[in-house]
Amino acid sequence: MLDENKKWGRLWGIGVGPGDAEWLTLKALRIIQAVPVVALPQNVRGGPGMAYGIIREYLQPTQKVLPLALPFVLDGEILQKAWHVAVEQLIPWLEQGQDVAFLAEGDISLYSTFTYIARTLQAQAPWVAIESIPGICSPLAAAGVLHTPLAIGYEKTVILPALFTLDELGHALDWAEVVVLLKLTSVFAQVWQLLKSKNLLEHASLVEWVGGPQQKIFPNLLDLADYKPPYFSILIVRRYPYVF
Ligand SMILES: C[S@@+](CC[C@H](N)C(=O)[O-])C[C@H]1O[C@@H](n2cnc3c(N)ncnc32)[C@H](O)[C@@H]1O
């Protein structure tokens, strides 16, 4: 039962960009430094994950850092449970009137766990205000470091996560001038073969860990037949190459 006199805190969803701390927006930085509680996805070892690495230098020791277990799995039941448990960890702080910032790498609207956290919180405590602060997403950052536009003039750009079928990818490559692929690791070998069959290996660039200290750029895929890119990799296929 909602106590009308109680003032609840707000949940902020903040995109912290894909790696370079200087790609944070001014608003993201202001809110991150102002909130008492910073929640973020855990890494595979159970510690604070990638988003924490990006903003760590801006936090004060007085701020509570809350790493949340949000597994990288496809099983809907496991995910629902994880989102529910994560939200249960946020509610006590919100209930005490404390604002909580949930940080996500990249932008919070592009394949981001924040969407599920916000939806789960809305179902459990619909009176909590939710605010969002967009961040630089990995496709934009990758285009930036590749010195190429993501779209110009009449061009169409398609963004696909790894769950596509090869047929779907084939259609996208025939239809759009620019195709961006995320979550590549498990499908890279098939993608490479398809690009080869379409003579697009020279038109495809791979960026790993964009914006981070370990950033790596492959301007084309010609020599990467047996390569296995890490999870944080992004591929941009541009039918009409353009580099500035
Ligand atoms: C779950 S999605 C999250 C996307 C993120 N919300 C964004 O706005 O970029 C994760 C995928 O985004 C891409 N990605 C995110 N950050 C990246 C980075 N720093 N370098 C390369 N790819 C990245 C990878 O393809 C990764 O598999």
Q: What is the CATH number of domain 11-133?
A: 3.40.1010.10
CA angle 75, 210, 138 (to 5 degrees): 55
Q: What is the CATH number of domain 138-238?
A: 3.30.950.10
Under 8 Å between Cβ of 27 and 38: no
Under 8 Å between Cβ of 99 and 12: yes
List, in order, residues 6 or more apart from 89 with CB less than 8 Å away. Answer: 39, 66, 68
Q: What is the C-alpha to C-alpha distance for residues 3 and 44, in angstroms, rounded to an integer?
A: 38
The whole model's pTM is what?
A: 0.94
Which atom of ligand 1 is found nearest the CA of 181? Answer: 25
At 47-65, the pLDDT tens digits run 888 999 999 999 999 999 9
Which atom of ligand 1 is found nearest the CA of 18? Answer: 19
In the chain, what are the domain boundaries? 11-133, 138-238
Tokens 């990799």 — which residue?
233
At 80-115, the pLDDT tens digits run 999 999 999 999 999 999 999 999 999 999 999 999
Determine which residue's CA is closest to atom 24 belonging to ligand 1: 232
What is the Å distance from ligand 1's center to 235 Cα? 11
